[in-house]
Chain A
Amino acid sequence: MILGFLPLNIAAVLLFLFAVMGLMYWASRKVRPEKKSREKEKIYACGENISPGRLEVPYESFYRILIRMFGFESFKRWHSGDINDYLTWIITGMVMLIMVLVLTW
């Protein structure tokens, strides 16, 4: 049952939802007032006007914080680019795989 239908059903439901969303968007464009007020176009928060520049997400800092927060930097140290390190990885992996297979044969 899962193999035959599930992803297709999900796709069908999503397509239906997208269609409903599109319909709602189209309907909202129909009912909105013709003239926009000036105040509507201003960006504001808590009564303060904010320049568009301040709203931009600092992507560089975002990824740096994400990497540091979860200690992902330590992973990079193991990928030094040094061939000796890479060969150590290969030999360790191979020995472990062989040990598992030989001991459980």
Chain B
Amino acid sequence: MVTFPLSFYGIPIMLAAAFIIPLVSLKKEKMVPYIGVSACLASFFLAALTFIDVLEFGILTHQMEGWPAPFGITIAVDNLSMFLVFMINFIGFAALAFSTKFIKERRTKYYSLLCLVLVGLLGIAHTGDIFNMFVFFEIMSISSYALTSYYRNRDSIEAAMKYIIMGSIATSIILFGIAFIYSAAGSLNMADLALRIPAAAGPVLPLGLGLLLAGFLFKAAIFPFHAWKPDVASVIPVPFATLLATAGSAIGIYAMLRIAFTVFSLTGFWLHISLIVMGVFSMVFGAVLALQQYNILRLLAYSSISQMGFVVMSLGIGSVNALGYTAGIFHLFNIMVFDALLFLCAGIIVYHAGTADMRKLGGFGSFNPILFYSFVIAMLSSVGIPLFNGFSSKILIYIATLQTYPVLTVISLLVSVLTLGYMLKVYDLVFLGGKKISPGRIHRSMWIPMAVLAAVCLFFGVLPNLGMAISDAIASNLSNAMYIMGVLG
């Protein structure tokens, strides 16, 4: 029987890659992208193997150096965390592979920092205690701040400064939350906390929880903590924007779920109302603001906020109707796939046109069929058109809302119409338009990740049952009993 989560080795592998890259670049700079890509590929395979084990055994844990929980450092992966680990590696691999041609300057720093971002993301999903979660959040955030200023122009430096200030406030809020929870419950291990919290009393616990949730919702860019995302996503290298907009936001949602459901076992009325309100505002704000953008990357960042709103709203409904959890988790998976595909398509456009301003673009429909069909697939998926993966999860969201609060179904449908509006705007301005562009080739390191993502969109659109079964398995394990037993024995 397998007990050790092999996917954990992904963290030292990516960390080693981050430090080997600068050394190798001294001798042979050409090798730099291949080290990053190979490391992520190895991590991806380990994650795939562990995901299969976790689906079979439920939870895999490991105590570092044999120190028992809650004293030692706990590594614990269940269905939810392995789903995230698998997706982080998948999107990370696509982003790193896409970067090999996209990134031409300062490759050493770029790849080294991107590997560190992946270390942070993987660490958050693996850890079993809240302080290590904070540490990994910091690793991810600090690497992200540095990558934000990658282009060293006025816009990127301004965005990096904003991101540092707001991100530092968010991480301070998380740290305060951890301190309050530790002072009230006396532990940092999540499973141990889940046992101690029902006995702990006083206003410090909800205060700590509120601070933690606010910090995590900032990382997920959920309304009203979302404002940093479009500013950052529009000035950073597109492959990194792909990772940040998908896995970066998803990890915030994961941390929120882990704390709210595993540690605090919260299913109360007001928490679910708060999640629904924040989700609905994210959906509407994101879609309305996306409609007004002319920068394709900004538009996609707002689109990503809007789509994450669907997830949060659906998870909020989950407290009343369990279908909400399944729908939310399945939509999270689908968003990560079609948003990554949209960003990669935008990457090719920016790479070839040299601008992200849609008013200066046009005629890309005749540029390359892979780009055109990939974009159309991603566009139809994000709108929620049948036969594409976005529909498979949105139909579940519509059903879940219809069974609980029908007004949310109407809002969801209206937001989907707005999604169609801004996606058609991109289609009109970028792919049709008056300009004529002669057909061109796309490097295989760029089209292969796109083709794989497009195939996944189609696969889960036509055959959604596998995705729904996995999402259902994850949703049914959200309660903390199994997690506590797995960690504490």
Contacts and interface: CB of A to CB of B under 8 A. Distances in A.
B229 to A, nearest CB: 11
A66 B323 CA distance: 34
A86 B166 contact: yes
A87 B162 CA distance: 10
Contact of B274 (A15, A70, A73, A100): A100
A55 to B, nearest CB: 14
Counting chain B residues whose Cβ lies within 8 A of the other chain, the interface size class is 35 or more
A98 to B, nearest CB: 3
A101 B210 contact: yes
A54 B165 CA distance: 51
A7 B292 contact: no
Interface in B137-169: 162, 165-166, 169
B162 A86 contact: yes
Interface stretch (B88-96, B98-106, B458-466): B458-466
B387 A94 contact: no
A76 B214 contact: no
Contact of B227 (A10, A89, A100): A89
Contacts of B228: 86
B292 A73 contact: yes
A59 B429 contact: yes
B169 A90 contact: yes
Contacts of A63: 291, 421, 425
Interface string A53-95: 0000001000100110010110110010101011101101110
Contact of B462 (A3, A11, A70): A11
Nearest to B264: A101
B227 A66 contact: no
Interface stretch (B4-12, B344-352, B391-399): B391-399
A85 B421 CA distance: 28
Contact of B207 (A10, A83, A98, A104): A98
Contacts of B396: 2-3, 7
A7 B227 contact: no
Interface in B403-441: 421, 425, 428-429
A23 interface: no
A87 B169 contact: yes
A105 interface: yes
A67 B288 CA distance: 8
B141 to A, nearest CB: 15
Contact of A102 (B207, B230, B386): B207
A3 B323 contact: yes
Given A63-B425, A98-B210, A3 B386 contact: no
Nearest to A90: B225
A75 B289 contact: yes
Contact of A83 (B165, B218, B289): B165
A6 interface: yes
Contacts of B392: 7
Contacts of A93: 214, 217, 223-225, 278
Interface string B377-396: 00000000011000110011
Please indicate which of the listed interface residues A10, A70, A73, A85 has the most CB atoms of chain B within 10 Å of its own CB.
Answer: A10
Nearest to A104: B270
A2 B213 CA distance: 32
B207 A11 contact: no
B291 A105 contact: no
Contacts of A98: 206-207, 210-211, 214
Nearest to A71: B288
Given A79-B289, A90-B218, A8 B465 contact: yes
A53 B463 CA distance: 42
Q: Which of A10, A72, A105 counts the most chain B CB atoms within 10 A?
A: A105
A14 B225 contact: no
B268 interface: yes
A101 B465 contact: no
Contact of A11 (B203, B268, B461): B461
Contacts of B391: 7, 10
Contacts of B210: 94, 97-98, 100-102
A102 B462 CA distance: 45
Given A75-B288, A93-B224, A97-B214, A66 B207 contact: no
6 contacts: A75-B289, A85-B227, A93-B225, A97-B213, A101-B213, A104-B269
Given A4-B465, A90-B225, 20 more contacts: A2-B323, A3-B326, A3-B468, A4-B468, A6-B395, A7-B468, A8-B463, A10-B386, A11-B387, A14-B387, A15-B387, A66-B421, A79-B227, A83-B165, A87-B166, A89-B227, A90-B227, A100-B210, A102-B207, A104-B269
Interface of A: 2-4, 6-8, 10-11, 14-15, 59, 63, 66-67, 70, 72-73, 75-76, 79, 81, 83, 85-87, 89-90, 92-94, 97-98, 100-102, 104-105
